[in-house]
Amino acid sequence: MNAPFLKYLAIAFFILVGFKPRAGEHPLHISVTQIDFRPSEKSLQFTVKIFADDMEDALKKKFNYNKLPTNIDELLAQYINDKLQVKVNNKVAQPVWVGKELDEEAYFIYLELPKTSKVNTLEISNAILFDLYEDQTNIVHFSAGEIRKSEMFQSGDAWKSLVKE
């Protein structure tokens, strides 16, 4: 295994097992996005995991709020759609908001690209929280059957290919 892959794996491991920093302290600024192609459902399904306080700070900054409204679904959807860009089969695609969950420390944001029966190419641009943290890292995992691919995005990164013809 190469060193960058091990770094992705280690970071993802800490996020997925529920790494809990002390209140108000984040040693890592990270998000993890899982994209699953479901041919039987003809859809690409997205799950974005982001620390709740970081996400809320980004929403306050972007939408100029001192305090966020009670229902922030519309704000979350707009922010994610602005920051997570998708091209499927060389065409820009806009994932549809499905919903969100909030646990003790993180938002799980669910999106979908319905009517996607085939993925010949998949390109992603992920700038989530780059407007808030210079050291932000966004990891994107893609799976389709036995195919697995991961990419890491840092400030200044552009489009990256997860599936090539």
Number of domains in the chain: 1
38-45, Cβ contacts within 8 angstroms, sequence gap of 24 or more: 39/117, 39/118, 39/144, 42/114, 42/115, 42/116, 42/117, 43/112, 43/113, 43/114, 43/115, 43/116, 44/86, 44/88, 44/95, 44/112, 44/113, 44/116, 44/119, 44/122, 45/110, 45/111, 45/112
Burial status of residue 148 (CB atoms within 10 A of its CB: 0-12, 13-18, 19 or more)? exposed
pTM above threshold 0.95: no
- CA distance linking residue 12 with residue 155, whole number of Å: 18
Q: Where are the alpha helices (DSSP H) in 64-140?
A: 73-83
Supply the pLDDT for residue 109.
98
Which parts of the chain register pLDDT below 50? Answer: 1, 21-22
- Structural domain span for residue 141: 3-19+28-163
**Residue of 6, 146, 144 whose CA lies nearest to 88:** 144
Structure tokens at 34: 């899982």
